[in-house]
Amino acid sequence: MPLSELPDQAQEEHAAPASEATAEQAMCTACSGGFLTRQDVKTALWEGEGLVVIEGIAALVCQSCGEQYYEDDTAMKLDLMRGTGFSAENAVRSMTVPVFVFETPGTDHEAEEK
């Protein structure tokens, strides 16, 4: 018997909790097969010649392909952070990252080394 045909009280007893129902409906649109789960993620943004890392961002992450989705208010807050700039004095820590040059075979740079 379909759940909708049961009396109201019986429907409540058999219905899945809201969190389970939401999890079942949250499917990835990028790969069309992964389930989305809430996770805290980090992202990197360029500011001029500098790279800024933002941690602790609430996102829905596909368990299959890793695609990340932000809720509208989270995306807006990220845009506001970017718009006001990133003051070094507000950073919780700093890191150093190595920088590499991508070279393709047959470039002039490779010929100069020989």
The stretch 69-94 carries a mean pLDDT of 92
- Residue 23: pLDDT over 60: no
Which is higher by pLDDT, 76 or 6? 76
Which is higher by pLDDT, 37 or 19? 37
- Residue 103: pLDDT over 80: yes
| pLDDT of 15 | 42
The stretch 74-85 carries a mean pLDDT of 92
Q: How far apart are CA 59 and CA 26, in angstroms?
A: 12
Q: Which fold, 3-89?
A: Ubiquitin-like (UB roll) (3.10.20)
Q: For the chain, which residues make up each domain, given as ranges?
A: 3-89
The first and second tokens of residue 67, run together, are 């695609």
Which is higher by pLDDT, 43 or 6? 43
Q: How far apart are CA 94 and CA 106, in angstroms?
A: 37
Three-point CA angle 70, 68, 41, nearest 5°: 85
Which is higher by pLDDT, 13 or 32? 32
